[in-house]
Chains A and B, each alone.
Chain A
Amino acid sequence: MVKQQDAVFRQAYPAPPYWVARFDVANPPAPGAFVLADLGGPLRQALFPATIDADGFTVMLPPHHPATRLLPGATVNVLGPLGQGFRIDGVTRLLLVAEIASLPPLLPLLEAAPAVALVIEAPTRAQLPPPDRFPPAVELTLVTRDGSAGHLGPLESQDPAPANLERVMPRLVELIAWAECACFACPNDRYPALAAIVRAARVQPAPDFAQALVQVPMPCGVGACEVCRTQTRATAQTQGGEKHACIDGPVFDMLLL
């Protein structure tokens, strides 16, 4: 059932490379699900929670996002919660993989399983968040595309690494083999290559072993506008074809994308 509710904006503060904004709301979205907030402009904007509690949620946004300009106490009309989030019930070993700009929707999962490994890829060292921002129990793998910190990216690359640098691929394969479930948040065009890595690392992975957050504009949130249609493959268990990211996703089985 789709509902409108009022969210109360509490505060926003910088946490490079993002801004954090806090909203109080009666019914916050689950990890990977979202609300559509009316922040001015012609279309509502999707807000994915970075942390969730009983009274509301925080979002991590790029600087200059309209939510960062709200005044504390401002009421924001939101539509939702909407969409299907990550499905990780009963998972004990969880792998999270994200490109830095897409990381926030994965953050509510940092403590969602007894053992969590997080792989973050950024263009360069300066764009990586400080490691002490993550819970100590999370096993962190940092990746930079220029090799300035951590492993050398990109995640999908199998090219030989220059001297003194280590490609992330072997580590990623190892973590995929270790995990019971892997959740990805990257630009959509990277998912086919990441799915190929999963298929190479696991023999017949179970449905929903690899879940990917599809990032597309979702103007209406209810499947009316057809803007967010996403192509999926059919399997013996599921019917493929075009699905609405806003109601059937935005989290999909990555191997079906």
Chain B
Amino acid sequence: MIELAPRHKFGLPIASPVMPAAGAFGYGDTYHDLVDLRVLGALVTNPMSLTPREAARGRRIAIHGEHFVAHTGLPNPGVRRVLQQYRQTWERLPIPVIVHLIATTPAETAQAAERLSGVPNVVGIELGVVDNVTPQRALNLLDAARADGDLPVIVRVPFTGVDALAPLLADHGADALTLTAPPRAVLPASDAPEDSEARRYLRGRLYGPALFPLLLNVLARWCSKLPVPVIACGGIASLQDATACLELGATALQVDALLWRDPLILQRIAEGLAKFETSTISE
């Protein structure tokens, strides 16, 4: 077993280092026909907030070469409705569930974390913070997530905030860190009408293969310096990519929006790593 929260009283053990990234795999009921969930370490849910959020208006995706920008507005029906709808699904899943919580305000974060405590098979919270969060605000949100709940808290660190936030959060009690959230980017929305600047360009989260070398740079720089497990996330597209992340010190990894094109990539990476581990042990 791989321990994602060695400092937490309950820990967060997972059987495989491979997980879907938040926002890529739904709430557990979407890809079960295609992907053998048993080979994964955990389900990381789509982002959810205490209160419902609606989808962003207008265009939500723009493609440029092998990359794309997505801006969904993180729509979700709120923690209460999600639990009503998916509690039983999660209980029946063969893998543990890590809930990705959108950290809005400390009060809301605390309330949402409390609601998630004791939900069967939910073993941890991944806290998503906004890109421009200040270090103090990030610490307040982490404190709030840990205050009334008893689940391990992983913080997904913004791409531009790793240097400022990662060591601080690790020292302040984060059980693990996800490095990193997809960076913000702007792409031309090629088929949008040309009558407004806002409609001609789309700002959102960037996905694509260029994120992978940037991820390796972050891992090479930070994994050995951080006292908590690191979960690698960003542009991982193959078994070789996953192996590189683990070799650079990541404890686990998340596959992001690439799995929309190739849902079986998760399974291939997990099975490949398991095979590699078995052959290494037998040697």
Contacts and interface: CB of A to CB of B under 8 A. Distances in A.
- Chain A to chain B: the 3 pairs with minimum beta-carbon distance, closest first: A224-B26, A229-B55, A220-B260
Question: For A38, A216, A220, which residue has the most chain B Cβ atoms within 10 angstroms?
Answer: A220
Contacts of B117: none
B261 A42 contact: yes
A16 interface: no
Given A38-B261, A42-B261, A242-B75, A222 B30 contact: yes
B66 interface: yes
Nearest to A229: B55
Contacts of B68: 42-43
Contacts of B263: 4, 79
Interface string A13-45: 000000000000000000000000010011110
B222 to A, nearest CB: 27
A41 B65 CA distance: 7
Interface residues of A, number: 23
Given A226-B23, A227-B61, 19 more contacts: A2-B34, A4-B263, A38-B262, A42-B68, A42-B261, A43-B68, A44-B261, A219-B257, A223-B26, A224-B25, A224-B46, A225-B23, A226-B55, A226-B72, A226-B74, A229-B75, A231-B54, A231-B55, A242-B75
Contact of A42 (B55, B60, B67, B74): B67
A224 B21 CA distance: 11
A217 interface: yes
Contact of B61 (A1, A3, A4, A217): A217
A219 B61 contact: yes
A42 B26 contact: no
B30 A224 contact: yes
A3 B154 CA distance: 33
B208 interface: yes
B33 interface: yes
Contacts of A38: 261-262
Contacts of B46: 224, 226
Interface string B100-119: 00000000000000000000
A42 B207 contact: yes
Nearest to A4: B34
Contacts of A229: 55, 72, 75
Contacts of B170: none
Contacts of A222: 26, 30-31
Given A38-B261, A43-B261, A227-B70, A220 B30 contact: yes
A227 B262 contact: no
A3 B60 CA distance: 26
A42 B206 CA distance: 12
Nearest to B29: A223
Interface string B145-166: 0000000000000000000000
Nearest to B66: A42
Classify the interface of chain B: helix, strand, loop or mixed.
loop
A242 B54 contact: yes
Contacts of A216: 60
Contacts of B70: 219, 225, 227
Question: For B60, B72, B74, B208, which residue has the most chain A Cβ atoms within 10 angstroms?
Answer: B60
A217 B33 contact: no
B218 interface: no
Contacts of B24: 224-225
A252 to B, nearest CB: 15
A219 B260 contact: yes
Nearest to B26: A224
B33 A224 contact: no
Nearest to B56: A229
Contacts of B15: none
Given A1-B33, A42-B261, A227 B207 contact: no
B63 interface: yes
Interface in B260-276: 260-264
Nearest to A223: B30
13 contacts: A4-B34, A4-B264, A38-B262, A42-B258, A43-B61, A43-B68, A216-B60, A217-B60, A219-B70, A224-B30, A224-B31, A225-B257, A229-B72
Given A1-B33, A225-B23, A226-B55, A44 B260 contact: yes
Contacts of A219: 61, 70, 257, 260
B55 A43 contact: no
A79 B263 CA distance: 10
A132 B59 CA distance: 37
Contacts of A43: 61, 63, 68, 260-261
B46 to A, nearest CB: 7
Nearest to B27: A224
A214 to B, nearest CB: 13
